[in-house]
């Protein structure tokens, strides 16, 4: 459930982008756009605006329920407000396309910094209560997250600016919007599963012998 809540602005961006034509034609929102504007730009601006509003709702909803803010939500809100705002003002999707990369690279920096600042790495702080691991394994896990976030950010840049250069602008933007939701989420699931398989042997070692025999 939390995953869906975290993805709330991204999901709304995806849905709005792919249904922008219907929204513009059948709601008063259409009056805000110049009929001469390219379809892809109208869809991008509309989806970006919806995602910004959704991010504010996400942050406000989390505070209402927990009486605190989640740093990830706040940082994402700041990024989408600035980059999304520039996209809307200048009509250039390149700015909003940078957001997933900057977000992932910020996560990479936080995980890497935690390796050298403080008593425990970020991964150990998140998972240490559930599983006991040798210090060397905690280091590997933390660094693996750093590498994953760096590669995810790089993958977004490649898809946004270098993939399908022979395709028209709308086809390329369509592909990036789909990758932003399904591609990056799929990469995350694969990584988490791979990490779970890596940790399985340590979980097995922690089980009482009578349970291991069963």
Same-domain check for residues 88 and 13: yes
How many domains does the chain contain in total?
Answer: 2
How does DSSP assign 176-196, residue by residue? HHHIIIIIHHHHHHHHHHHHH
Same-domain check for residues 125 and 185: yes
The predicted structure's pLDDT at residue 60:
95
Same-domain check for residues 118 and 200: yes
The count of other CB atoms within 10 Å of the CB of residue 86 is 16
The predicted structure's pLDDT at residue 200:
83
The answer to whether position 106 is within a domain reads yes
Same-domain check for residues 71 and 118: no
Domain edge (last residue) among 73, 93, 113: 93
Is the pLDDT confidence value at 201 over 70?
yes
The predicted structure's pLDDT at residue 13:
97
The answer to whether position 214 is within a domain reads no
The answer to whether position 172 is within a domain reads yes
Same-domain check for residues 28 and 85: yes
Closest among 36, 78, 71, 77 to 57, alpha carbons compared: 77
Same-domain check for residues 80 and 102: no
Same-domain check for residues 77 and 115: no
Same-domain check for residues 74 and 103: no
Domain edge (last residue) among 93, 109, 142: 93
Q: How far does CA 1 lie from the centroid of its chain?
A: 16
The answer to whether position 150 is within a domain reads yes
How many residues are present in the chain? 214
| pLDDT interval class at 5 (50, 70, 90) | confident
Same-domain check for residues 60 and 134: no
User: Using one digit for the tens of pLDDT, what is the confidence trace for 168-189?
Assistant: 999 999 999 999 999 999 999 9
The predicted structure's pLDDT at residue 204:
61
Residue 28's domain comprises: 1-93
Is the pLDDT confidence value at 2 over 80?
no
The predicted structure's pLDDT at residue 157:
97
The predicted structure's pLDDT at residue 198:
87
User: Using one digit for the tens of pLDDT, what is the confidence trace for 124-138?
Assistant: 988 877 788 888 999
Same-domain check for residues 174 and 107: yes
The predicted structure's pLDDT at residue 205:
55
Cβ 105 vs Cβ 149: under 8 Å: yes
Is the pLDDT confidence value at 19 over 90?
yes
| pLDDT interval class at 206 (50, 70, 90) | low
Is the pLDDT confidence value at 14 over 80?
yes
Domain edge (last residue) among 78, 93, 108: 93
The answer to whether position 131 is within a domain reads yes
Same-domain check for residues 37 and 14: yes
Same-domain check for residues 139 and 196: yes
């Amino acid at each position: 459930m939390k995953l869906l809540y975290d993805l709330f602005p991204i999901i709304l961006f995806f849905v709005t982008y792919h249904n922008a034509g219907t929204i513009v034609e059948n709601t008063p929102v259409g009056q805000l756009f110049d009929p001469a504007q390219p379809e892809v730009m109208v869809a991008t601006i509309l989806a970006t605006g919806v995602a910004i509003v959704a991010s504010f709702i996400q942050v406000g909803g989390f505070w209402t329920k927990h009486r605190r803010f989640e740093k990830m939500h706040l940082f994402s809100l700041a990024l989408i407000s600035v980059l999304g705002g520039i996209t809307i003002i200048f009509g250039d999707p390149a700015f909003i396309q940078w957001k997933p990369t900057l977000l992932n690279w910020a996560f990479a920096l936080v995980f890497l910094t935690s390796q050298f600042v403080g008593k425990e790495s970020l991964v150990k702080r998140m998972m240490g209560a559930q599983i006991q691991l040798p210090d060397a394994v905690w280091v590997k896990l933390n660094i693996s997250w750093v590498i994953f976030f760096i590669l995810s950010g790089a993958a977004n840049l490649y898809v946004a600016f270098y993939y399908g250069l022979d395709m028209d602008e709308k086809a390329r933007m369509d592909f990036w919007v789909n990758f932003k939701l399904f591609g990056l989420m799929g990469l995350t699931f694969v990584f988490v599963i791979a990490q779970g398989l890596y940790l399985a042997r340590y979980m097995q070692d922690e089980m009482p012998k009578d349970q291991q025999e069963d």
